[in-house]
Each structure stands twice: as structure tokens, then as C-alpha cells.
Chain A
Amino acid sequence: SQQGEEDPQALSIQEGENATMNCSYKTSINNLQWYRQNSGRGLVHLILIRSNEREKHSGRLRVTLDTSKKSSSLLITASRAADTASYFCATDHLIIQGAQKLVFGQGTRLTINP
């Protein structure tokens, strides 16, 4: 079953605006990751936030984590046309000692209009 649920499912904004995507999850986590997927391609890791962190920045990306609400948000500031992609949150779950699996949400399709 899917652990993360992204909101909104689709988002269309003008270039230069900020884009905010949200993710909710169900069980306790060690960390939460965000990935980006260009159409028809593999996923690329963007950023990881640990369960004891509340906010993290990387370039134009800002991620927040609220473990009490089991939710995270990804903010992309000053969006560019090249940011058009699908964005997924993923939570890690221990499989066996030394191995984890990522459980992904359904993703948000972000379209940046020039």
C-alpha cells in the first residue's frame, strides 16, 4: 500500500512563482525523501529530511517536516520552465537488517508555464 499521499495531484503555475507540494504519510519514519521525475524517465533524488529535522534547504528547494501531523511540504521558489516534472515523496521502511525500502506517494505533476 502507498504510504505517502501528495497534494495536489497536479499543479500549474506561471514561471517565477513559488510551487508548494504537500505529502502525508501514515507510520513513523526515520527520514523522508523527495524525488523528481521528468516525463518517461527515472527518478532523481532531490533532498532528504530526517525525522528530527523540521526544515531543510537546498538551493531553491525548501522542505519542511511535521512529524506530529505526519506531513511534509516541498517548496520550489522562483520556478522555472525546467522545473516541470512530477515530484514524489518517499518514506523509508526497514526490510531486514541493513536494508530499507522506499514507499512512494502518488506524486504531484507540476507544470511551469513560461
Chain B
Amino acid sequence: SQTIHQWPATLVQPVGSPLSLECTVEGTSNPNLYWYRQAAGRGLQLLFYSVGIGQISSEVPQNLSASRPQDRQFILSSKKLLLSDSGFYLCAWSVPTEAFFGQGTRLTVV
């Protein structure tokens, strides 16, 4: 069966520090991968999606970047975090009828 792993679960980082969040998928090949951000009490905003290795598309301009170095690995990064980068980050992969989400990373920038 397919599973998705996302880590860490929580992260507190100072302003200006770098960021690396990792997501891996098991049990499927060539998945469509997504990074979402969720502000407190709000819906999900799509940040990046990837349809293949090295293929990254950004939905919104921001301080973040994404990379897909391997088929089932998706990384969210920042060189210098801003306070506004705080939020709940969710990785997901999808088939046409359903999306499967990781457990999320709570990022607090202080």
C-alpha cells in the first residue's frame, strides 16, 4: 500500500535561518506531488506541485522553493525564513480521484 512520510512534525526556527522540509512517498511511482500551506483556521493554499523529477511549478510568489531530486522525494526549502513563513505545511500526492496527505509540519518562525 502507498504511504507518505513528512518530517519533522514541528519546527521552531529563527528569522533568517534556512529551512528544509522533506516528504517521501512509498508504494507508487511517478506520483504527482504537492506542497500546501495552511494558515491557522484557514484552508489550504497550494505552493508547489511536481509531475516528475526536476519538474517544479510554483503557484504563488514567495520566499520558498521546492525540489524533487528523486521520483518519490519532495523537498521544501528556504534560504532565509521570514516571520510570515510560519504555518502548517502539508505534503501530498494524488491520483485523479483522491489526494493523500502527510501528517504535516508545524513551522513557527521566531
Identify the A interface with B (CB < 8 A): 2, 4, 31, 33, 35, 40-45, 48, 88, 90, 92, 95-96, 98-107, 109
Contact = CB atoms under 8 A, between A and B. Distances in A.
Nearest to A2: B43
Interface of B: 6, 32, 34, 36, 41-44, 46, 49, 51, 57, 59, 88, 90, 92, 94, 96-104, 106
Contact of A45 (B36, B59, B99): B99
Nearest to B36: A104
Contacts of B92: 42-43
B49 A101 contact: yes
A88 B43 contact: yes
A95 B102 contact: no
B41 A109 contact: yes
Contact of A96 (B43, B51, B100, B102): B51
Contact of B99 (A98, A102, A105): A102
B34 to A, nearest CB: 7
Contact of B43 (A40, A41, A107): A107
Given A40-B104, A96-B51, A101-B49, A45 B98 contact: yes
B90 A48 contact: no
Contacts of B36: 104
B51 A98 contact: yes
A30 to B, nearest CB: 9
Residue of B41, B44, B46, B102 with most partner-chain A CB within 10 A: B44
12 contacts: A40-B106, A42-B101, A42-B104, A43-B44, A95-B51, A98-B32, A100-B94, A101-B46, A101-B59, A104-B44, A106-B42, A109-B41
A32 to B, nearest CB: 11
B96 to A, nearest CB: 6
